[in-house]
Amino acid sequence: MNIIEMQKKTPLAKGDKLAKKEPHLENTENRVVSPEKISQHIAKIAKEGELKYSKLEDDFEIEDFPEPDPEVFHGLAGEFVKIFEPYTEAHPMALLSHFLVFVGNNIGKGVYVYADGARHYANLFVVNVGPTARARKGTALARVRNFYKIVDQKWLYSCVCSGLSSGEGIIEAVRDPMDDEEEPVDKRLLVIESEFGSVLRILRREGNTLSPVLRDAWDGKEVLQTLTRKDNRIRATNAHISIVGHITQAELLNYLDRVEIFNGLGNRFLWVCVRRSKLLPHGGDPPTNEVNRLAQKVRRTIDMAKTPRRVEFSEDALEAWGDIYYSLAQSNYPGLLGALLDRAEAQILRLALLYAVLDQSSVINAEHLFSARAFWKYSEASARFVFGETYTDEITERLLSALKKAAQDGLTFTEVYKNIFQCNVNQKRIKHAVKELMQAGIVKRVVEKRPVGRPVQRLFLSSYYVKNVKT
């Protein structure tokens, strides 16, 4: 039984406290329960698929909350989630996304996949978005961080930090030596921002260089530098930078500036909706031997991936990628959502590279692409969940609102121009908004023939479109 199936089939406790139903876990004056006993108990019920959690409306009954495809839990990444998930309240996708970012940065600028003249390395930018402050984003981070103390403690303590404030600050952390006597620094840098809303507020400051440096860092640009220090200009060559951010949905909607969405920074991030997956009042840890065994496998995998090389597609992957690429070309979201999802191909390639690396594969196989696509679909669904029907500008939003009110009656273009916009908006701009919504499949247009005069164009929301309208 996979992780998702176990969650769906788990019986829910109806308000009872675990301690009352399991009296041997009660912590009384005469009997103290050790953490080992608690872990053993949780391990037992997890294996039987009977892990209980109470139903919380704000955590568990969120309408349209994304559901991950089991394909996303592939290989060592899936094994990590499988081992830790029964013992934590963190969402499986929170565990998975943190794990992949950590591994991707730990690898460094070694393996890469080549596409259309660009190298794509394993560094990812990921933001976990929690509908509430109780989404256990920090819990997922703590689980992965503690695991990495076994995998590569030196990298963890020297290359993982927080404090995104300026482009110069990022470059300073991985800058080249100023002279021959200065020791070179590790070019790997994983920045963790538990309060990602503060980063978004910084991006709004006029003259701040953070946004262009982040875009160059994600792209894997060979040299990172700014023009702000004319007398002592710093630079960083071959930097390998990754980011993990945590934010609530309300903060994201409030602080993410449209400029950063449309200048390409927003679509360099994978947006991952997470929430508390269960209630575990007693906590617990997975068996130490299983954790150590997995850490050894991850360590060996990382060492193998540090050798610089180009990772090619296998024959089955070439065919699969053609199908995936074509399907992505058919996707066309309008406005803000479209701008945030406009880098799907590159994101899937990077994720597929990571899945291949974790399989210790010399090539990217079709299964790696399918797992990467499953991750992207979850990120895509997360963006839809967070941003909903938020479009390019006020004109598109007003048009959509008017069509909703018109319902099955629809609106003619003349009605839109005169009644909705009072002839105060250029017709070309309205037509552009109509085209945008039609390309996304949200609006349909029919031509009504009349006995006298020119045909009339009528617009409908796709959900209200009546096929027997005369065309």
Handedness of CA 396, 402, 405, 407 (dihedral sign): negative
Give me the mean pLDDT over the 5-21 stretch.
Answer: 42
Summarised one tens digit per residue, pLDDT across range 345-377 is: 999 999 999 999 999 999 999 999 999 999 999
Q: Which residue has the higher pLDDT, 1 or 232?
A: 232
- Which of 101-110, 234-243, 249-258 is predicted with the least confidence, judged by mean pLDDT? 249-258
Q: What CATH number should be reported for the domain whose range is 394-464?
A: 1.10.10.10
pLDDT value at position 440? 62
- Where does residue 468 rank: exposed (0-12), middle (13-18), buried (19+ CB within 10 A)? exposed
pLDDT value at position 42? 56
Residue 65 pLDDT exceeds 60: yes
- Alpha-carbon distance of 469 to 170, in angstroms, equals 59
Q: Which residue has the higher pLDDT, 204 or 233?
A: 204
Give me the mean pLDDT over the 67-78 stretch.
Answer: 97
- Alpha-carbon distance of 438 to 297, in angstroms, equals 49
pLDDT value at position 30? 46
pLDDT confidence tier of residue 271, bands split at 50, 70 and 90: very high
Give me the mean pLDDT over the 326-345 stretch.
Answer: 84
Cβ neighbours of 58 (radius 10 Å): 11
324, amino acid identity: I
Cβ neighbours of 403 (radius 10 Å): 24
pLDDT value at position 391? 52
Alpha-carbon distances, residue 273 vs 169, 181, 184, 246 (angstroms): 29, 47, 38, 10
- Alpha-carbon distance of 326 to 234, in angstroms, equals 42
Handedness of CA 52, 91, 273, 369 (dihedral sign): negative
pLDDT confidence tier of residue 410, bands split at 50, 70 and 90: confident
pLDDT confidence tier of residue 139, bands split at 50, 70 and 90: very high
> Domain 58-387, what fold?
Rossmann fold (3.40.50)
pLDDT value at position 134? 84
pLDDT value at position 142? 97
Q: Specify whether the CB–CB gap between 237 and 222 falls below 8 A.
A: yes
pLDDT value at position 337? 81
Give me the mean pLDDT over the 166-182 stretch.
Answer: 90
- Which of 112-116, 204-208, 392-396 is predicted with the least confidence, judged by mean pLDDT? 392-396
For residue 156, report the phi and psi dihedrals to the nearest 5 degrees. Answer: -60, -40
pLDDT confidence tier of residue 23, bands split at 50, 70 and 90: very low
Residue 304 pLDDT exceeds 60: yes
pLDDT confidence tier of residue 193, bands split at 50, 70 and 90: very high
- Which of 181-185, 236-240, 316-320 is predicted with the least confidence, judged by mean pLDDT? 181-185
Per the prediction, the chain carries an average pLDDT of 83
Give the E-state strand segments of 143-222 in sequence order: 160-161, 188-193
What one-character DSSP code corresponds to residue 452?
S
- Alpha-carbon distance of 43 to 190, in angstroms, equals 32
pLDDT value at position 40? 64
Q: pTM of the entire structure?
A: 0.76
pLDDT value at position 6? 45
For residue 224, report the phi and psi dihedrals to the nearest 5 degrees. Answer: -105, 125
Summarised one tens digit per residue, pLDDT across range 85-97 is: 999 999 999 999 9
pLDDT value at position 13? 39
Tell me which residue of 383, 377, 421, 418 sits closest to 399, measured CA to CA: 421
pLDDT confidence tier of residue 38, bands split at 50, 70 and 90: low
pLDDT confidence tier of residue 11, bands split at 50, 70 and 90: very low
Tell me which residue of 312, 304, 248, 313 sits closest to 275, measured CA to CA: 248
- Which of 150-159, 189-198, 400-409, 432-441 is predicted with the least confidence, judged by mean pLDDT? 432-441
What ranges do the domains of the chain cover? 58-387, 394-464
Q: Which residue has the higher pLDDT, 62 or 184?
A: 184
pLDDT confidence tier of residue 286, bands split at 50, 70 and 90: very high
